[in-house]
């Protein structure tokens, strides 16, 4: 059997820069990589099934949109390939209703929220005036099982009518109604952060929720602005979810409270800032790739020594 260190699966065209950079960095360290996309998924699945091809580690950025990749991933899992973000962990972690309750239990602060059942299960919905008042105006409406890209999210809801209309859009999904948080300003920046967990390490960036633009965060800023809780909260979320690579949004409110806003995004947008105005800083992307490389090297050494 030909066995590669890392299999990289993708379908989104904008992943190509990330994958090229990943291959270059890993191969320069003596690791082997193999790209799987729509054009070769059939032959790769057949080769894996026939035990002609295998991977020690597998990063799957396609299974959530194409069932053929799920089939391959499940086969690799049975063959003891280390899947980055095991599918069962992802399914659990992207449910906002589940994570909301688990965050609270674990001491992670979240905005005031109300979880409502799917329209398909319960057409009639009662929310008290008191609960609506606690949400404030405007408030946010989010489907519980769609992650990333702001899909299905309403940020300026005002009335019960808005809730009733929106929950019928994705009738099989639970919804979460969330208090809208105003961030603290730190030297002119909104204190809003995209926090990555990347292969055992937190990687933090500034992220403006209004412009969707990133900025690098520098080591001195953690102490200058008292931002070290970003590191501990991100690590706590990683321990809760068992995911290898994800992002979360954390905001420092006007009351100087750290709040997790968008709980877990398992498919991180890895477009580079040098090619896309709203991409992540190139240095951040390179740090994430380096952490993945180092993790694979470390795990290979551990496996050899066992």
For residues 195 and 262, state if they share a domain. yes
| CA proximity to 164, closest of 119, 128, 129, 121 | 119
Note whether residue 247 is domain-resident.
yes
Three-state DSSP class for 145? Answer: coil
For residues 15 and 76, state if they share a domain. yes
Contact 104, 96 (CB under 8 A): no
Q: How much is the mean pLDDT over the chain?
A: 92
| Tokens, residue 46 | 């057949």
Q: For residue 83, what are the β-bridge partners?
A: 58
Note whether residue 227 is domain-resident.
yes
Q: What is the pLDDT of residue 149?
A: 55
Confidence band of 150 (pLDDT split at 50, 70, 90)? low
Contact 142, 180 (CB under 8 A): no
DSSP code per residue over 125-164: ----HHHHHHH-SSEEEEESS--STTTT-EEEE-SHHHHH
| Residue given tokens 């992670």 in the structure block | 108
Nearest-angstrom CA–CA distance, 54 and 2 = 6
- 253-258 average pLDDT score: 96
Q: Looking at the 3D structure of the chain, how many domains does it have? A: 3
Q: Is 30 left (phi over 0), alpha (psi -120 to 50) or beta?
A: left
For residues 167 and 241, state if they share a domain. no
Question: Exposure pattern of 229-251 as b/e (b: 16+ CB <10 Å)?
Answer: ebeebbebbbebbebbbbbbbbb
For residues 175 and 195, state if they share a domain. no
Domain interval for residue 141: 112-179
Confidence band of 155 (pLDDT split at 50, 70, 90)? confident
- Residue 20 is part of a domain; what is its CATH number? 3.40.50.2300
Nearest-angstrom CA–CA distance, 292 and 29 = 12
pLDDT in tens, 43-58: 999 999 999 999 999 9
Residues 133, 230, 292: CA angle, nearest 5 degrees: 130
- Residue 253 is part of a domain; what is its CATH number? 3.30.470.20
Contact 164, 285 (CB under 8 A): no
3-class secondary structure per residue, 233-286:
HHHHHHHHHCCCEEEEEEEEECCCCEEEEEEEECCCCCCECCCCCCCECHHHHH
Select from 155, 179, 203 the last residue of a domain: 179
Nearest-angstrom CA–CA distance, 203 and 100 = 22
pLDDT in tens, 53-89: 999 999 999 998 999 999 999 999 999 999 999 999 9
For residues 187 and 263, state if they share a domain. yes
Note whether residue 147 is domain-resident.
yes
Nearest-angstrom CA–CA distance, 193 and 53 = 40
Q: What percent of the chain has pLDDT over 70?
A: 97
Note whether residue 170 is domain-resident.
yes
For residues 51 and 34, state if they share a domain. yes
Contact 231, 202 (CB under 8 A): yes
Note whether residue 106 is domain-resident.
no
Residues 193, 196, 201: CA angle, nearest 5 degrees: 125
| CA proximity to 103, closest of 176, 211, 35 | 176
For residues 22 and 57, state if they share a domain. yes
Q: Which of 76-80, 116-120, 245-249 has the lowest mean pLDDT?
A: 116-120
For residues 159 and 187, state if they share a domain. no
Q: What is the pLDDT of residue 262?
A: 86
């Amino acid at each position: 059997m030909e066995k590669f260190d890392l299999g990289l699966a993708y379908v989104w065209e904008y992943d190509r820069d990330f994958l090229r950079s990943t291959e270059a960095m890993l191969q320069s360290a003596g690791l082997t990589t193999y790209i799987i996309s729509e054009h070769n998924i059939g032959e790769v699945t057949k080769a894996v099934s026939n035990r002609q091809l295998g991977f020690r580690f597998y990063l799957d950025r396609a299974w959530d949109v194409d069932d053929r990749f799920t089939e391959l991933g499940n086969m690799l899992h049975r063959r003891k390939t280390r899947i980055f973000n095991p599918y069962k962990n992802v399914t659990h972690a992207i449910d906002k209703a589940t994570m909301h309750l688990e965050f609270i239990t674990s001491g992670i602060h979240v905005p005031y929220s109300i979880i409502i059942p799917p329209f398909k299960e319960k057409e009639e919905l009662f929310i008290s005036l008191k609960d609506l008042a606690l949400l404030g105006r405007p408030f946010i409406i989010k489907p519980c099982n769609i992650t990333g890209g702001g899909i299905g999210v309403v940020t300026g809801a005002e009335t019960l009518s808005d809730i009733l209309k929106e929950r019928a859009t994705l009738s099989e999904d639970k919804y979460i109604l969330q208090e809208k948080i105003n961030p603290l300003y730190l030297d002119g920046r909104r204190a809003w952060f995209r926090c990555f967990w990347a292969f055992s390490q937190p990687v933090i960036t500034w992220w403006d929720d209004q412009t969707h633009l990133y900025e690098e965060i520098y080591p001195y800023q953690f102490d200058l602005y008292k931002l070290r809780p970003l590191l501990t909260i991100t690590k706590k979320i990683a321990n809760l979810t068992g995911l290898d690579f994800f992002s979360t949004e954390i905001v420092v409110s006007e009351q100087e409270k750290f709040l997790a806003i968008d709980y877990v995004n398992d498919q991180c947008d890895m477009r580079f800032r040098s090619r896309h105005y709203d991409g992540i800083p190139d240095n951040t992307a390179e740090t994430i790739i380096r952490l993945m490389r180092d993790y694979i090297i470390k795990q290979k050494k551990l496996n050899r020594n066992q």
